[in-house]
Structure 1
Amino acid sequence: MGQSASRFQFTKSQHIPTLKVLQAAMFDFRYDPHAHEEYAFGVTLSGRQDFFSGGQYHRSPPGNVIIFNPDDVHDGQPGGNHTLDYVMLYVHPDQVKALFDDALGQETAANFRFDTTQVQDKALRERITEVARLITMATGSQIDQENALYQVVERITQLGGAFQPGRTSTRPDTLLGLAKEYIHAHLDSDLSLEAISQAAHLSKFHFLRLFRQQLGITPYQYVINCRVNAACSALENGASLSEVTFRYGFTDLSHFNRRFKRIYGVTPYQYQRHLIR
């Protein structure tokens, strides 16, 4: 394709709830720092994917696998002068928890986190692209797609010591957890830093410093990110653009479009058209 525009195509699995695929060709676009509620398993197909995550700058060459845990803050852009082509699977933790438990041979209360963002593994790369093929081509039965997704999860658990169940909660984790719970419970309200910091039992000054230090974005950026993610779910369930715009505190459709596109690469209208046929 010519190096003049970027394209993004979302496709939802017709069999597995919460599982969707992004096919992206990026040349003139850069994502704002953001996080998703889902796991994201991606493969760089061509070009180079440059992004900042987990306090580090990453460069993903062709064939590389990228893994983001839920709530991992990251940005992203093409590296060099070539179009970046990549594919990404998104799936909610609730959808794959039983698969991870089975692959590891143990049942736990916690979700799992992979502490290596990039992986060079041919088997995992092929399994991710196979899931993407089944979904984008709308081929295979439900059990075919479920098995393909299980193959991805199984390979991740086989990669060894980098994959660890849960994390020991520290006091900052606990306090910020209270703040995040408050934000999620009041996404359709007029949120303030004062109210959020009080929910975390911190002064506004200490809350701002701790939040930025631990998450890599400001509370304001996090609130916008959560509202956009909530808007995605509403759009997937058929809510109207006007309803979603005002429910989540965007001043008008133009404001909603601008914020949404910086995270998803497409407008809310385009996103809804991709996923609701």
Structure 2
Amino acid sequence: MAIKPIILSGKEFVNHDELSYPFEERGLQFGDGVYEVIRVYSGSYYLLNEHVDRLFRSAAAIKIALPFSKNELRELLDQLLEKNMVDMDAKVYLQVTRGSAARDHAFPADVAANFYAYAQELPRNLVAMKSGGSVISHKDLRWDWCYIKSLNLLPNVLAKQEAKESGCVEAILHKDGLVTEGSSSNAYLVRDGKVFTHPAKENILHGCVRMRVEQFCRDLDIPFVEDAFRVEDIQYADEMFISSSTAEITPVIEFDGKKIGNGVPGEVTQKLQHAYEQDAGIPMANSLFESMERQNA
């Protein structure tokens, strides 16, 4: 007699065809997949090409064959905004896994990748970007190939939760005393007018906004130094900030309960924020600096 297809889901026994989720899905069972989060401003993508390129790099690194070309994906993502009538600030999450197949560590044969993408409204966090936030330090417990934007995020999740419980916006990760990045961001230290950050190696995510920060620094004649700084270096920093697609460029004004610099967002950070807004085409009505001017008026 064949085994019946009955699944224990929560406290109920159901036929596997009645489940609301695919129980034999490699992203669910192994974290066998990659993802991207793309920022949208006033209904238009920011850094779309960079995110698409990185998705393809991540998929290739773990040998997932994507079901479309880069051009086809860009067209589909444009249609996603159109069909959802996205005309505000938002984010688009996209994920691809190796597919659905019987659970086995080895790759399944002839299984198509699973892909989905969706849009959610996401207003800019002008308060955090204007006033800055506090962060904590946290040991970097992740694997060594963080340049792959994979679904294996449990160490990141635990670090971020610890930061949240501490009333902080981010956890700054460090390994052997060297700062790598944040739990969901890249991290930077400013001293003597220079911006320091960890080199774009395999053990950090090559952030799309990070690439722009480097470009902004070149345009503004701000030295951009790819040299990992140590946790103890932060006490001597003039400024600190983090960057990501959702955090944009957010000043850090306190590290492990100790004030950084003067305890307010610094001049270099604000210059980079202004360059970001110009590059992203942020309208003046939604500008960080317009909100500052209104507050000071």
What TM-score do you get using the length of structure 1 for normalisation? 0.25
Instruction: Name the structure, 1 or 2, with higher relative contact order (CA <8 Å, separation 6+).
Output: 1
What TM-score do you get using the length of structure 2 for normalisation? 0.24
Larger radius of gyration: 2
